[in-house]
Amino acid sequence: DGGITQSPKYLFRKEGQNVTLSCEQNLNHDAMYWYRQDPGQGLRLIYYSQIVNDFQKGDIAEGYSVSREKKESFPLTVTSAQKNPTAFYLCASRLRGLAGELFFGEGSRLTVL
């Protein structure tokens, strides 16, 4: 089945450690996105990529990094510079060139101990 797979679903990290969240899609979508959800805050855009080897900062990119070496993969690294990393992280994708919806993965819950 086509879809977006995020892993791990739950992740615990000690302060000062970097962690990488995986996002893989087999929908042949060009664009991919990372959002963060905090209670009462809605979804906020971290990074997005319209094509391979290109990505742009979203509204809250500080403390995060991404790469887009393959069309189907868009990993997010939460660095130790991110002050409040505990959150629910959502990856999404869409076909480029069409006005339409983003398809979301199931999310990854990161907790910093």
Partner 1 sequence: DQQVKQNSPSLSVQEGRISILNCDYTNSMFDYFLWYKKYPAEGPTFLISISSIKDKNEDGRFTVFLNKSAKHLSLHIVPSQPGDSAVYFCAATRGGSNYKLTFGKGTLLTVNP
Where does this chain bind partner 1 (CB under 8 A)?
A: 4, 31, 33, 35, 40-45, 48, 50, 56, 58, 88, 90, 92, 94, 96, 99-107, 109
Q: How far is the CB of 85 from partner 1 (least distance, A)?
A: 18
Cβ 91 vs Cβ 102: under 8 Å: no
Q: How far is the CB of 43 from partner 1 (least distance, A)?
A: 4
Q: How far is the CB of 37 from partner 1 (least distance, A)?
A: 8
DSSP string, 29-55: -SEEEEEEEETTTEEEEEEEEEETTEE
Q: Report CA 53 to chain centroid distance, whole Å.
A: 16
